Amino acid sequence: MFTGIIEEVGRVERLERSTDRARLEVGCHAIVSDLSLGASIAVDGCCVTVAAVTPTGFAADLMAETLHATALGDLDAGARVNLERPLAADGRFGGHLVQGHVDAVGSVLARDDQPGTVTLTIAAPAAIAPLVARKGSVAVAGVSLTVIDVDERDGDAAFRVGLIPHTCASTTLGDARPGHRVNLEADVLAKYVQRLGGGRTT
């Protein structure tokens, strides 16, 4: 379980693809001393298992489903990625419950830069659109954010989120531009409410 509070922005050193899988190698510094084989870590909001640890980073194996259902397959060497270790039992809970299970891949439709705030408009595919609510929580590339508003669009939706300067500086979302694909995860509470109400699950 994660919180959507990014601990470090790492850099992709290599994404070695084969027919049905890939090996992702990420360079990082602040969190590497606490990583171990078999540990979980969220990379741009996608929970992966640490398969190797070096003094300067870690590696993870990505299944075909991960490459298909998330934006991790878009990564190239040099790309920056948001990193978060699982929530510790005695840690502070600063964001919202994030499982690291990507529900859909959205795309940035627009970016509005204003003094002290950047507003992103993000397309939400039908798989996640009903679960995105005004003033609710959503994880975008692993970052816990509050939804400003939602614009329904024939089954799909577009929603807006605001980024403060700290978020822009400490996550990859500060670099987001129109066309940028991002992993999306709805609030797990919304998923259970939908399920209990008889709605289709994602």
201 pLDDT above the threshold of 60: no
Token pair for residue 110?
């627009």
Mean pLDDT score, 140-145: 98
pLDDT band at 200 (very low <50, low <70, confident <90, very high): low
Mean pLDDT score, 84-104: 88
50: Cβ–Cβ under 8 A, 6 or more apart, which residues?
A: 35, 36, 37, 38, 39, 40, 41, 58, 59, 60
- The identity of residue 111, as a single letter, is R
CA 28 to chain CA mean position, Å = 17
Distance CA(101)–CA(70), nearest Å, equals: 9
Distance CA(114)–CA(168), nearest Å, equals: 13
pLDDT band at 98 (very low <50, low <70, confident <90, very high): very high
More confident: 95 or 122: 122
| Mean pLDDT score of the chain | 93
Q: Can you tell me whether residue 114 is helix, strand or coil?
A: strand
Whether 39 and 49 have beta carbons less than 8 Å apart is answered as: yes
Q: Domains of the chain, with CATH numbers?
A: 8-84 (2.40.30.20), 104-196 (2.40.30.20)
87 pLDDT above the threshold of 70: yes
Torsion of CA 185, 186, 187, 193, to 10 degrees: -140
**According to the model, what pLDDT value does residue 173 have?**
98
Express each pLDDT in 28-71 by its tens digit: 999 999 999 999 999 999 999 999 999 999 999 999 999 999 99
Helix ranges (H only) for the chain are 64-69, 165-170, 188-196
Nearest Cα residue to 100 out of 122, 76, 69: 69
Q: Can you tell me whether residue 20 is helix, strand or coil?
A: coil
